[in-house]
């Protein structure tokens, strides 16, 4: 599974403080630790408290680029910040994210095309996140069509079926799983599927358990990628074991160790 | 015409060099490079295959008693002298010498580490080809001689074998100290194969200096099981599994010349055709099968097999 590390996000206190005090060592340490733990890319989000998101995004990416060239997921809702971020992050990074609204797609997809970025697209529109799989898939199909129109290969499109916290929207988990499964039927080659995993456990008492259980279920239905906390070792172990049981890697007694040596 | 389905693999096998020239601290006239494939064997339309499979010939430090005459006769009187034998193999045109230290076997001569290293040094001076050095097959004895073998060939960048689940610690330590690569052998089991590679790398041994011996079965004697294991190993490597991405060696000769097909004479089996051709055909066909499966080093015994197999490789390496 492709893993995008979620830790460089201004909603976490250590990150917002690091941004405020321009303490680049904290950010660089977070980048390195997540990559060592198995992240294939790093999410970068300045957080809601940022007074100057454009400057902060520029600073974050610049200091991360001092320690790694791995892909970044530029995580912002602001167009100007997105453009700045993608231009600095370089080709192969992720636009995180667009929704399924046409006006959003028409603004953001050209940016992805311009900077040769992959696209994370949420199956939501003006009225929010639909409760069932059918409506999510309809939005996904529209996103795929828009991507094709804008000349973005479907393999570089990551559909996020948007999981809501289980304590407020319990029905959604099944709808998300069904969407992940059926996304592969939209076109050939199919789009990839992704989850912002930790949303599922917001407000629950045992967040790690909810996260890893849902991740394993989603993997069984074909999930390709997730934005998650790679520093949660048990979560990573569950992911590695699930992939093993799905036959993606050859078993050996030290399969966890073997996966990490990849 | 290009095939309609072309796989794009994310992985490739490790590239490994055996042998070191004078400038590199060794004394070999040439080196052999293996692996580095980004596709299945000979599918040039899909990926790159930078190095052809290599052909090695066996040299023993005792005279083989159970070889059929059709094989023995090719060597004349050199079979009692490993140095001369190695030189003869070089003349036969192989890429590597595989020195098999049979005499260390407690049931044969039980040669000491000193006697063994003397033989190794003699062979090193007799041939300028890179060396594969394997023990007698007795785990305990091999563990007791491997360190001195490794030390006495320091700088030559040999391939030492064979490390098993039982003796890998000693072998790995020895290969580390002498700067050699290592053969990791498992009994036809893909899970154990991967596990042994992990155990060896856990000791700080570089994963790109291992050669896998997944076991070798002769044609008609388990070949198809080996084929499947090799094919799965290669597919795992191409999918990005670094613990399955090592080059593969197969000892074809030792599994060929003990079969009845290569030994039974014409009076016994007239319908099988001339014994002289039969053995070479058997060894060549088996080698070709292993090469098609994904093997990188083929170890054979008959000089005509070397010629035939190399000829075959040459034809298939044309893009």
Which of the residues A38, A256, A259, A261 would you substitute to probe the B interface, choosing the one with the greatest number of B C-beta atoms within 10 Å?
A261
Instruction: Using CB atoms within 10 Å of the CB of residue A54, give its burial: 0 to 12 exposed, 13 to 18 middle, 19+ buried.
Output: middle
Q: How far is the alpha carbon of A252 from chain B, nearest alpha carbon, in Å?
A: 5
Q: How far is the alpha carbon of A178 from chain B, nearest alpha carbon, in Å?
A: 27
pLDDT confidence tier of residue B231, bands split at 50, 70 and 90: very high
Q: How far apart are CA A112 and CA A153, in angstroms?
A: 11
Lowest mean pLDDT among A27-31, A234-238, B14-18, B219-223: B219-223
Contact at CB, A252 and B201, closer than 8 angstroms: no
Contact list in B for residue A155 (CB cut-off 8 A) is none
Nearest Cα neighbor of B20 from B164, B124, B173 is B124
Contact at CB, B191 and A261, closer than 8 angstroms: no
Residues of B with CB under 8 A from a CB of A: 190-195, 198-199, 201-202, 207, 232, 236, 240-244
Interface size, chain A vs chain B, as Cβ–Cβ contacts under 8 Å? 38
Contact at CB, A250 and B194, closer than 8 angstroms: yes
Average pLDDT over residues B167-174: 97
pLDDT confidence tier of residue B127, bands split at 50, 70 and 90: very high
State the DSSP code for B246: S
* Inter-helix orientation angle A233-245/A207-220, to 10°: 20
**Which residue among B191, B201, B202 places its CB closest to the CB of A250?**
B191
Nearest Cα neighbor of B70 from B310, B284, B303 is B303
Percent of chain B with pLDDT over 70: 99
What DSSP string runs through B2-60?
--S-----S--PPEEEE---GGGTS--S--EEEE--SSSTT-TTTS---SPPEEEEEEE
A34-45: pLDDT as tens digits? 999 999 999 999
Lowest mean pLDDT among A106-115, A163-172, B227-236, B268-277: B268-277
Q: Residue B178, Cα to own-chain centre: how many angstroms?
A: 19
Average pLDDT over residues B298-313: 97
Domain edges within chain A: 2-232
Average pLDDT over residues B93-107: 97
Place of tokens 């001092």: A66
Contact at CB, A250 and B207, closer than 8 angstroms: no
pLDDT confidence tier of residue A192, bands split at 50, 70 and 90: very high
Residue B42 has pLDDT above 70, yes or no: yes
Give the pLDDT confidence score for residue B1 in this predicted structure: 64
Average pLDDT over residues B220-238: 96
Q: How far apart are CA A35 and CA A70, in angstroms?
A: 9
Give the pLDDT confidence score for residue B165 in this predicted structure: 95
What rounded mean pLDDT belongs to chain A?
Answer: 97
Main-chain phi, psi angles of B186, to 5 degrees: -135, 155
Which pair of structure tokens corresponds to residue B191?
A: 């899970």
Work out whether the CA dihedral A97, A98, A104, A105 comes out positive or negative: positive
**Which residue among B199, B202, B241 places its CB closest to the CB of A250?**
B241
Q: How far apart are CA B113 and CA B111, in angstroms?
A: 7
Which chain A residue is nearest to residue B201, measuring alpha carbons? A261
Average pLDDT over residues B164-174: 96
Main-chain phi, psi angles of A129, to 5 degrees: -95, 120
pLDDT confidence tier of residue B6, bands split at 50, 70 and 90: confident
Which chain A residue is nearest to residue B241, measuring alpha carbons? A262
A117-147: pLDDT as tens digits? 999 999 999 999 999 999 999 999 999 999 9
**Which residue among B191, B207, B242 places its CB closest to the CB of A252?**
B191
Which chain A residue is nearest to residue B193, measuring alpha carbons? A252
Contact list in B for residue A254 (CB cut-off 8 A) is 195, 198-199, 202
A198-233: pLDDT as tens digits? 999 999 999 999 999 999 999 999 999 999 999 999
Give the pLDDT confidence score for residue B2 in this predicted structure: 67
Residue B265 has pLDDT above 90, yes or no: no
Which of the residues A258, A259, A260, A262 would you substitute to probe the B interface, choosing the one with the greatest number of B C-beta atoms within 10 Å?
A258
CATH of A2-232, one of 3.30.540.10, 3.40.50.300, 3.20.20.20, 2.60.40.150: 3.20.20.20
> Which domains does chain B carry?
15-316 (3.20.20.20)
Contact at CB, B194 and A261, closer than 8 angstroms: no
Give the pLDDT confidence score for residue B132 in this predicted structure: 98
Contact list in A for residue B195 (CB cut-off 8 A) is 252-254
Who contacts B168 (Cβ-Cβ below 8 Å, separation ≥6)? B184, B196, B199, B200
Q: How far is the alpha carbon of A50 from chain B, nearest alpha carbon, in Å?
A: 39
Bridge partners, B300 (sequence order): B57
Residue B3 has pLDDT above 90, yes or no: no
Give the pLDDT confidence score for residue B319 in this predicted structure: 77
Which chain A residue is nearest to residue B199, measuring alpha carbons? A254
Place of tokens 């206190």: A13
pLDDT confidence tier of residue B4, bands split at 50, 70 and 90: confident
Contact at CB, B236 and A249, closer than 8 angstroms: yes
Give the pLDDT confidence score for residue B38 in this predicted structure: 97
Q: How far is the alpha carbon of A246 from chain B, nearest alpha carbon, in Å?
A: 14
Residues of A with CB under 8 A from a CB of B: 249-254, 257-258, 261-262
Q: Which residues in A56-65 are b (16+ Cβ under 10 Å) and which e?
A: bbbbbbebbb
**Which residue among A249, A253, A257 places its CB closest to the CB of B241?**
A249
Judge if the upstream peptide bond of residue A36 is cis by omega within 30 degrees of 0. Answer: no
């Amino acid at each position: 599974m492709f893993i995008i590390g979620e830790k460089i996000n201004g909603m976490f206190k250590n990150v917002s403080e690091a941004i405020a005090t321009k303490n680049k060592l904290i950010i660089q340490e977070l980048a390195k630790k997540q990559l060592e733990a198995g992240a294939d890319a790093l999410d970068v989000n300045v957080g809601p408290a940022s007074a100057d998101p454009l400057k902060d995004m520029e600073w974050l990416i610049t200091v991360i680029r001092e320690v790694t060239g791995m892909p970044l997921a530029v995580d912002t809702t602001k167009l100007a910040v997105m453009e700045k971020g993608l231009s600095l992050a370089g080709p192969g990074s992720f636009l995180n994210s667009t929704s399924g609204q046409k006006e959003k797609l028409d603004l953001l997809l050209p940016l992805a095309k311009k900077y040769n970025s992959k696209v994370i697209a949420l199956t939501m529109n003006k009225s929010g996140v639909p409760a069932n799989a059918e409506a999510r898939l309809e939005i996904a199909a529209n996103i795929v069509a828009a991507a094709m129109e804008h000349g973005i290969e479907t393999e570089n499109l990551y559909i996020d079926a948007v999981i809501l916290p289980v304590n407020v929207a319990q029905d959604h988990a099944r709808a998300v799983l069904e969407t992940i499964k059926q996304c592969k039927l939209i076109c050939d080659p199919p789009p990839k599927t992704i989850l912002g995993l930790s949303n599922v456990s917001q407000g629950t008492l045992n967040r790690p358990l909810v996260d890893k259980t849902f991740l394993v279920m989603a993997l069984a239905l074909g999930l390709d990628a997730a934005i998650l906390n790679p520093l949660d070792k048990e979560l990573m172990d569950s992911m590695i074991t699930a992939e093993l049981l799905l036959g993606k890697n050859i078993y050996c007694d030290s399969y966890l160790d073997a996966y990490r040596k990849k | 015409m290009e095939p309609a389905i072309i796989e794009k693999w994310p992985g490739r096998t490790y590239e490994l060099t055996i042998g070191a020239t004078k400038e590199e601290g060794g004394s070999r006239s040439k080196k052999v490079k293996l692996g580095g494939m980004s596709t299945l064997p000979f599918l040039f339309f899909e990926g790159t295959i930078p190095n052809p499979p290599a052909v090695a010939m066996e040299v023993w430090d005792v005279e083989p008693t159970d070889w059929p005459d059709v094989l023995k006769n090719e060597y004349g009187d050199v079979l009692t002298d490993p140095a001369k034998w190695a030189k003869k193999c070089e003349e036969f045109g192989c890429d590597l010498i595989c020195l098999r230290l049979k005499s260390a076997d407690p049931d044969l001569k039980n040669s000491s580490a000193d006697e063994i290293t003397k033989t190794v040094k003699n062979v090193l001076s007799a041939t300028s080809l890179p060396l594969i050095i394997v023990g007698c097959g007795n785990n305990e004895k091999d563990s007791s001689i491997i360190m001195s073998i490794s030390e006495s060939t320091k700088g030559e960048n040999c391939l030492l074998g064979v490390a098993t689940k039982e003796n890998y610690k000693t072998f790995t330590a020895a290969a580390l100290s002498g700067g050699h690569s290592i053969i990791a052998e498992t009994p036809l089991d893909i899970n154990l194969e991967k596990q042994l590679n992990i155990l060896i790398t856990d000791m700080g041994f570089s994963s790109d200096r291992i050669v896998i011996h997944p076991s070798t079965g002769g044609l008609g004697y388990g070949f198809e099981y080996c084929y499947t294991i090799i094919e799965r190993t290669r597919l795992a490597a191409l999918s990005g599994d670094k613990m399955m991405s090592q080059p593969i060696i197969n000892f074809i000769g030792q599994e060929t010349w003990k079969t009845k097909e290569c030994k039974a004479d014409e009076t016994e089996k007239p319908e099988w055709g001339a014994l002289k051709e039969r053995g070479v055909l058997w060894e060549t066909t088996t080698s070709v099968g292993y090469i098609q499966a994904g093997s990188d080093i083929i170890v054979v015994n008959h000089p005509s097999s070397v010629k035939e197999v190399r000829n075959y490789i040459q034809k298939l390496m044309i893009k």
